[in-house]
Amino acid sequence: MTAGDDMVYTATGNAGVAPVASAVMMGGADRKPTMRLEEHIDFSTLGWVKPQIDELLSEARQALEAFAEDTADTGSMQSCVGLLHQVLGTLRIVELYGAAELDQEMEHLAQAVLDGQVVDRDEAMGALMRGLVQLPDYLDLIESGHKDIPIVLLPLLNELRDARGAEPIDQRILFHPDLDKPLPPDAAGVRAAYPFADLRVRVTQIRARFQVQLLAWTQGKQPNFVEMHDCMDELRAVCHAEGARRLWWVAGGVLEALQQGRLDHHLASLRQQFGHLDRTIRHMQDEGEDVCDDENARELARTLLYSIAQATPGPGRSETISRAFGLDKMVPTELEFERARAAMSGRNRALLDTVAKAVREDLLRVKEGLDIFLRREDRNPQQLAPQVEVLQRVGDTLGVLGQDAPARMIGEQRQTIVAIIDGKREAKPETILDVASALLYVDASLDEHIEHLGAGDQTEDALPASEARKIMRALMREAGTNLGKVKEHITAFIESSWSHDQLTAVPGLLAEVSGALRILNLERPANLVDGIDRYVGNELIVDRKVPTVDEMDQLADAMAGVEYYLEIGHDASASDSRILDGAQRSLERLHYWPVPARREPARVVEVAAQEPPKPVPEMPAPPV
């Protein structure tokens, strides 16, 4: 067993290595070695391991059911614990923290049941079964392109904790910002740390002013948030350590939001947080800057960041902080939250697949009936009567699924057929064909609904998301095809012993790629393609240089980054900007990021035209 393996208990209760986790660590046989994504495994990795996770969770459910039938069979419960632990390792590797939190709570409860540490075993096993059913639904949601939204799991998490007598958790516990992200320039401090004695004097003076306003706040009076904000900025300005600068910069952002009235509904909790902040100022006063990066201070920074994430959106420092720490990706929008709740309420992919199959069969039956009606020479409107009942059933089903627009469309087609049967409309072939076309549209819209797991309808004026996605994928495919052609030209350039003529078509192909990406509002990858284009155009075509091995490696890595992005970029969950970081670093090493201006080839022809033509010497007559 290697150092990277995760020790788990297998279904038989024996110690072993987690095969799923190991497979993820290895990256799979098809992993592109040039991508250098070791630092971050994208959510798209879930697609590689989810079948195994589903199988393990299914085995865990079976083990739990076996124990429920025979509680003396502790081996079944031990297997359930081991299987849950195996899933936990995999979820942590693919960085699905919400799902991992749920799995860990299930493992703790399963172990408590096994050890006889629960008051009501039946209630505990019921909560366990609900977790085992809902975790696959939650993973379906993420696999379909949505955020990992741990907050939607909070009721189930607390139900699992309550079953083993643990305290409920606050939703802030599920908030995991990366505190080690680099700080922007406006969070700068002193270039070199002050001597401790000097720092102590400065901090003491700033803290005295801060405490005046904090005391007013704790006494129920209106504090001067501007003055408190200035104190935070002054503390940051006298600090050198990153942890200290981060804490005071974030605290200043919270105070700015308070001053702007964008955090009024959090006043009570924020007052308590700034009481903790005052104690941290005192610790820095007594011990120096390093205390601002201990675990207590980091937890305080996380809490303050959570407050900023909850603030009403607005300009200023809070917006900069949100962007710096990616807070918008951690707090779901109302639409995302509703989609997640729908996925966790039983309207999951398996159910929708089953219902959609039945709807498609009904739609096919209606379309076949319409086709037969059009082919008959003895057409009678009453022959359409069976289709009315089928369409009624389809419309009702779509309504239950929350597909209001397609349900209305089905209802309209049903009314059209009823009008034909009643003699209110003529059974013209074009009318029947219009009904059939509408049924085809509804059929196509089912894929969109299943992919988004019960999300509500979009606005009527917007392009249907299924159509928009088809356009996006078509553009992505075309861009990927062009990149493939670029690689072929570069390969030919290398194999021809650096014949620069092989690169003539490359700028046009890359321009089409960046244009397609800009149509999709994917500005960053488009700019990276521009960087590749500038390097090829300036260095290889205009200057006709022969690149070094390292330069070709960097060019290959930059192209591989963009190519990998195109392969998975249609999936919102896979479009994380870190996928492109490797490509950007490669362009930086080539000195083509930021993207420089395009160099034009020297106008040799024009210069030559300015010189008087030289007389052509007469050739001597050939000897006779």
- Tell me the C-alpha distance between 553 and 559, whole Å: 10
Residues 6+ apart with CB under 8 A from 296: 280
Query: Model confidence at 441, in pLDDT bands (50, 70, 90)?
Result: confident
- Tell me the C-alpha distance between 491 and 381, whole Å: 66
> Are the CB atoms for 289 and 199 separated by under 8 Å?
yes
Q: Percentage of residues in the chain with pLDDT exceeding 70? A: 76
Query: Model confidence at 579, in pLDDT bands (50, 70, 90)?
Result: low
Tokens 């490359």 map to which residue? 506
- Tell me the C-alpha distance between 156 and 134, whole Å: 9
Query: Model confidence at 241, in pLDDT bands (50, 70, 90)?
Result: very high
pLDDT at 547: 93
Q: Percentage of residues in the chain with pLDDT exceeding 90? A: 37
The model's pTM is 0.46
Token pair, residue 363, equals 């739609």
CA distances from 565 to 42, 44, 194, 531, 582 (A): 11, 11, 45, 16, 11
Beta bridge partner(s), residue 7: 17
Look at 577 and 592; give whichever has higher pLDDT. 592
On the question of pLDDT at 10 being above 60, the answer is no
Look at 373 and 232; give whichever has higher pLDDT. 232
- Tell me the C-alpha distance between 322 and 184, whole Å: 12
Closest CA to 528 of 473, 581, 599, 589: 581
User: For 67-93, how does the pLDDT look when each residue is reduced to its tens digit (9 = 90+)?
Assistant: 988 888 899 999 999 999 999 998 888
pLDDT at 75: 93
pLDDT at 39: 33
Token pair, residue 579, equals 């996928």
Look at 209 and 262; give whichever has higher pLDDT. 209
b/e burial code for range 28-63 (CB count within 10 A of at least 16 → b)? eeeeeebbebeeebbbbbbebbbebbbebbebbbbb
Average pLDDT over residues 142-166: 82
- Tell me the C-alpha distance between 247 and 281, whole Å: 10
On the question of pLDDT at 196 being above 50, the answer is yes
Average pLDDT over residues 382-409: 82
> Are the CB atoms for 8 and 86 separated by under 8 Å?
yes
Average pLDDT over residues 552-576: 72
DSSP letters along 404-416, please? Answer: HHHHHHHHHHHHH
Which secondary structure element, helix H or strand E, spans residue 8, and what is its range? strand 7-9
On the question of pLDDT at 7 being above 70, the answer is no
- Tell me the C-alpha distance between 431 and 250, whole Å: 64
Average pLDDT over residues 321-340: 76
On the question of pLDDT at 4 being above 70, the answer is no
Report the topology of domain 7-171. Answer: Four Helix Bundle (Hemerythrin (Met), subunit A) (1.20.120)
In the chain, the amino acid numbered 566 is: L
Closest CA to 251 of 284, 275, 221, 268: 275
Assigned architecture for domain 466-605 = Up-down Bundle (1.20)
Closest CA to 98 of 57, 134, 144, 59: 134
Token pair, residue 332, equals 């779901």
pLDDT at 417: 93
> Are the CB atoms for 324 and 181 separated by under 8 Å?
yes
Query: Model confidence at 17, in pLDDT bands (50, 70, 90)?
Result: very low
pLDDT at 402: 63
Beta bridge partner(s), residue 75: none
Segments of the chain assigned to CATH 1.20.120: 7-171, 349-451, 466-605
Look at 620 and 512; give whichever has higher pLDDT. 512
pLDDT at 110: 95
pLDDT at 25: 33
312 three-state secondary structure: coil
pLDDT at 340: 67
Q: What is the mean pLDDT of the chain?
A: 79
**Distance between start and end Cα atoms, the chain:** 93
Mention the CATH class of domain 349-451: mainly alpha
pLDDT at 517: 80
DSSP letters along 421-460, please? Answer: HTTSS---HHHHHHHHHHHHHHHHHHHHHHHTTSPPPPPT
Token pair, residue 182, equals 């680099």
On the question of pLDDT at 15 being above 60, the answer is no
Query: Model confidence at 561, in pLDDT bands (50, 70, 90)?
Result: confident
Average pLDDT over residues 136-140: 84
On the question of pLDDT at 321 being above 90, the answer is yes
Closest CA to 89 of 172, 176, 10, 169: 10
pLDDT at 198: 95
Residues 6+ apart with CB under 8 A from 202: 194, 234, 238
Torsion angle of C-alpha atoms 468, 470, 473, 474, degrees rounded to 10: -110
Which secondary structure element, helix H or strand E, spans residue 17, and what is its range? strand 15-17
Q: Could you give the residue ranges of the DSSP H alpha helices within 183-266?
A: 196-218, 225-237, 242-259
pLDDT at 30: 37
CB-side exposure of 103: number of CA atoms within 13 Å? 28
Query: Model confidence at 8, in pLDDT bands (50, 70, 90)?
Result: very low
pLDDT at 344: 63
> Are the CB atoms for 32 and 560 separated by under 8 Å?
yes
CA distances from 159 to 108, 121, 151, 348 (A): 12, 13, 14, 21
> Are the CB atoms for 280 and 292 separated by under 8 Å?
yes
Average pLDDT over residues 110-133: 90
Look at 264 and 18; give whichever has higher pLDDT. 264
Average pLDDT over residues 485-500: 91
Average pLDDT over residues 404-417: 87
Look at 494 and 150; give whichever has higher pLDDT. 494
- Tell me the C-alpha distance between 108 and 102, whole Å: 10
On the question of pLDDT at 300 being above 60, the answer is yes
Query: Model confidence at 376, in pLDDT bands (50, 70, 90)?
Result: confident
